Structure 1
Amino acid sequence: MADKKTTSYPKEKINILFLENISDVAVRRFKDAGYSNVKKLSGAVSEEELIKEIKNVHLIGIRSKTQLTSKVIAAAEKLQAIGCFCIGTNQVDLKAATKKGVAVYNAPYSNTRSVAELVIGASIILIRKIIDKNKAAHEGVWMKDATGSYELRGKTLGIIGYGNIGSQLSVLAEGLGMKVIFYDTETKLPLGNASDCKSLKELLSKADIVSLHVPELPSTKNLINKTNLKFFKKGSILINYARGEVVELNDLAKFLKDGHLGGAAIDVYPWEPEKNGDTFTTPLQGLSNVLLTPHIGGSTQEAQANIGEDVSAKLFSYLEKGISNGSLTVPALSLPPQEGTHRILHIHNNVPGVLSEINTTLSKHKINILGQYLKTNDEIGYVVLDVDKGLSKNALELLQKVKSTIKVRRLY
């Protein structure tokens, strides 16, 4: 069957580089599929080192620390795809990847449960003031006291950003008897009994616990600052497991010190160390009822395995079938395999007339196109062609000469 076809380029010659200790699930999947040339490094590397490492790499897998800048992508002479084994893609210059025709994939849903569960756990710890009691117990002080300790049941959880994580958190919180309100810049369908707020100020003034789940954008930078912190309920709690730039930490520290906020849990920071063991500082260190964690929201065995499976499956589909569904750079396209054909992938600048030139060129040389899909975005166009087996080599050479071509690859 067509599904059993493999890439015409020998798999053992495809160089794969995994950084930042990506799950062994991904490594095993590639090796089991015949991609034997897999190199795995435990941490992120500098731009200079990465430029050296990536020159002959066909596929690179990263997490959140590795910065794939325009310089790095320009140095990647053979790069076909980037796998971001995480939710975000801020660490990749997507524009540079798009212009070079490099497919970029991520795992936007795979660790949502892990983050949502951790928010619930942090909420219980903070609302019960467990951090201070734990500290006292370790220091040999008995602090059995119910003052300022509450149940989650009946409290109001305010979720800012009602996307994949926010909506799942909403369901978990309702299961614990909480009232859920949310605010999102886009219209979202509430789950369960959750209700939306018309403004950020409305949510902040009503919530006992505020949890952030927004992307890192210019519009979200320092979203929570001294201005908005004034709107929080007295004694309320802030949880940020979203992005480090979303909260102005010096302002937050001030509102915690003066007692306006009753506690905070922070997992992401404007600046984070490169690797485990490095020195880390934040204005929140040493403050009462503040839970600080080292960007571990999605760091569970289940989440990492799910991410490994999800991103690997997308990369396999692209490398072996030309299917680009889920790519953030190459237009999403899926052409069913056809028997008796060879498949060619053509990526070009999105200018008028390219498809016409492709078809005219192949027609002049009597090369029959048995299947063809085209999809474009603002920058590039992506064409998948299935042609007669005996003529695919000639077709490949002709397509390489088409104006505005970025890259051409004979898949099988």
Structure 2
Amino acid sequence: MNDKIVLLEKIHPSAVENLQAQGFTNIVQVPRALAGAELIDALSDADAVGIRSNTQLTADVLHALPRLRTIGCFCIGTNQVDLNTAATLGIPVFNAPYSNTRSVAELVIAQAILLLRRIPEKNARSHRGVWDKSATGAFETRGKLLGIIGYGNIGAQVGILAESVGMRVCYYDPESKLPLGNARPMPLDELLRQADVVTLHVPGGASTTNLLSAERIALMRPSAVLINASRGGVVDIDALNAALRGNRLGGAALDVYPVEPRSEKEEFVSPLRGLENVILTPHIGGSTEEAQENIGREVSDKLARYLSAGTTRSAVNFPEVAHQQKEVVSRILHVHRNEPGVIARMNALFAESGLNIVAQHLQTRGPIGYAVTDVDAPIEQSLMKKLCGESAAIRCHLV
């Protein structure tokens, strides 16, 4: 297939292998994040792009890329993409909401054990030649209460692993969620007051910015520890720093930050640097070989299915059409404004051309409509010009 796919930020080789196995050969790999004019230039003739968390696909960037048809985020989050602009331009965005769940959950449990045992402090002192065998302030995980804020895929997995090492589990989620194992729901403020370990697994955005504010951090027990492996803006870092330096919190582990370096060459800056009861990791929750391999396969498969068949199942910003193997001569993908009469006018154009529709799938999402039409005959360019020029059309093409 001639579609050009550009993969940025050292995406796992499994993505390339999977795309090549499905017939895509025009693949360009860039081992770092790009920005500004350099990013636009690299994607100017791309049909699809794969990114991780550092490449920002803003409205300005997307408007400068009229050929771009789809975006794959090889990670869980999609905050780095202007999803609304992508949708209005007819660009579905895919991610990997499940592939690194286990890796993140294991890191959280490991950090909880290390913090409860005060291992970061003991380790730092040993490196300085101090032999500190004191058991003061060091606790087993067994019987301790783990409070999970955000009981989605990762939060629920953390709860299951926590129970396997003898912890009790409670959770808070603004939506009603079926508890797994022996986990029980709890109001947020009550969770903060009772939990020995608090771990955050919520999405980014305005509703969760500084969710752990100074007031809420003050509710936590002085011996409790806080873990954030979700989004950097969820915790008020200055408030956390003050609580830790004032001995009003037992410790913390952070894997995400409000501002993160764009590359290894930039210095990581945080007020928490130097604190011996804090674990700072460089956004590596999903950075295991297993997770990255799974993510590579999952997202590349979604890109391949869209480019070859128009499948949008599990797109985060777009009407979802399930996968249908292309078994006809022509398949037309038509993205349009969701308004009355679009399908009738489109089908009238097929009828005028003497074409019989074999199958048609339509889904809408807010202001966007998406129709996949199968015709068992070749499509003339004159008809495609009429379909793409229809008053409500955003974009259309053949696959």
TM-score (norm 1): 0.94
User: Aligned runs of 1:39-188 on 2, under 5 Å?
Assistant: 39-188=28-177
Whether 2:268 is the aligned partner of 1:272: answer no
Instruction: Indicate yes or no: 2:313 matched with 1:325.
Output: yes
CA distance in 2, matches of 1:330, 1:214: 22
Give distance in 1, aligned partners of 2:348 and 2:55.
43
Match 1:38 to one of 19, 27, 39: 27
Distance 1:335-1:125 versus aligned 2 partners, 3 A rule: closer
1:351 aligned residue? 339
Q: Distance in 1 between matches of 2:380 and 2:162?
A: 57
Partner of residue 362 from structure 1, selected from 350, 375, 388: 350
Structure 1 Cα separation of the partners of residues 290 and 10 of structure 2:
15
Q: Which secondary structure state, in structure 2, belongs to the residue aligned with residue 261 of structure 1?
A: coil
- Matched letter for residue 311 of structure 2: I
- Structure 1: distance between partners of 2:328 and 2:256: 52
Structure 1 CA distance for aligned equivalents of residues 328 and 170 of structure 2? 56
Contact 1:342-1:392 within 8 A present in 2 as well: no
Deviations 1:9-59 (A, max 9, x none): xx2x32211111111110222233332221111111122211222111111
1:406 CA drift (Å):
1.4
* 2:294 match: secondary structure: helix
Equivalent position SS for 2:250? strand
1:283 maps to amino acid: P
Residue aligned with 1:389, SS: coil
The Cα shift of 1:400 comes to 2.2
Task: Show the counterpart of 1:6.
Answer: none
CA contact (8 A) 1:136 1:142 kept: yes
How many pairs were matched up? 399
User: What do residues 198-249 of structure 1 show as CA deviations (whole Å, max 9, x unaligned)?
Assistant: x211000110000000111212111112111111012100001110001111
SS at match of 1:345: strand
2:230 aligns to what? 242
Contact 2:305/2:323 (8 A) holds in 1: no
State the partner residue of 1:227.
215
- Cα deviation 1:184-209 (Å, max 9, x = unaligned): 11111111111101x21100011000
C-alpha distance in 2 between matches for 1:115 and 1:81:
27
Task: Write the distance in 1 (CA, Å) between the matches of 2:61 and 2:378.
Answer: 38
The answer as to whether partners of 1:250 and 1:283 remain within 8 angstroms in 2 is yes
For residues 68-99 of structure 1, what are the alpha-carbon distances to aligned partners after superposition, in whole Å with 9 as ceiling and x for unaligned?
A: 01111111121111000000100000111101
**Residue aligned with 1:231, SS:** coil
SS in 1 for 2:97: coil
* Partner Cα separation in structure 1 for residue 270 and residue 78 of structure 2: 24
**Cα gap change, 1:345/1:153 in structure 2, threshold over 3 Å: closer, same or farther?**
same
1:392 Cα offset (Å):
5.6
1:299 aligned to 2:290? no
8 Å contact 1:335–1:373 — kept in the other structure? no
Q: Quick check: 1:367–1:395 contact (8 Å CA) kept in 2?
A: no
Conserved in 1, the CA contact under 8 Å of 2:313 and 2:323?
no
- In the alignment, the residues of structure 2 paired with residue 141 and residue 27 of structure 1 have an alpha-carbon distance, to the nearest angstrom, of 49
For 1:203-218, what aligned pairs fall within 5 Å after superposition? 203-218=191-206
Matched, 1:376 2:364: yes
1-structure distance, mates of 2:218, 2:311: 49
**Contact 2:33-2:54 within 8 A present in 1 as well:** yes
> For the structure 1 residues 340 and 19, does the alpha-carbon distance in structure 2 shift closer, same or farther, using more than 3 Å as the test?
closer
Give the Cα–Cα distance (whole angstroms) in 1 for the partners of residues 327 and 38 of structure 2: 44
Aligned partner of 1:178: which letter? M
**Whole-angstrom CA distance in 1 between matches of 2:323 and 2:343:** 16
Change beyond 3 A, Cα 1:92–1:340: closer
CA contact (8 A) 2:200 2:230 kept: yes
Distance 1:169 1:256 in 2: 24
- Which residue of structure 2 lines up, in the alignment, with residue 290 of structure 1? 278
CA distance in 1: counterparts of 2:119 and 2:305, whole angstroms: 47
2:180 counterpart residue number: 191
Compared CA separation, residues 231 and 359, structure 1 to 2 (3 A):
same
The verdict on how the C-alpha distance between 1:397 and 1:22 changes in structure 2, with shifts beyond 3 A counting, is same
Give the root-mean-square deviation of aligned CA atoms.
1.4
For 1:181 and 1:403, locate their aligned partners in 2 and report how far apart those are by CA, in whole Å.
53
CA distance in 1, matches of 2:103, 2:320: 28
Cα deviation, 1:86-140, whole Å, max 9, x if unaligned, reads: 0010000011110110111000111110000000000111000111111111122
> 1:311 is matched with which residue: 299, 315, 325?
299
Q: Is the contact between residue 124 and residue 276 of structure 2 (CA under 8 Å) also seen in structure 1?
A: no
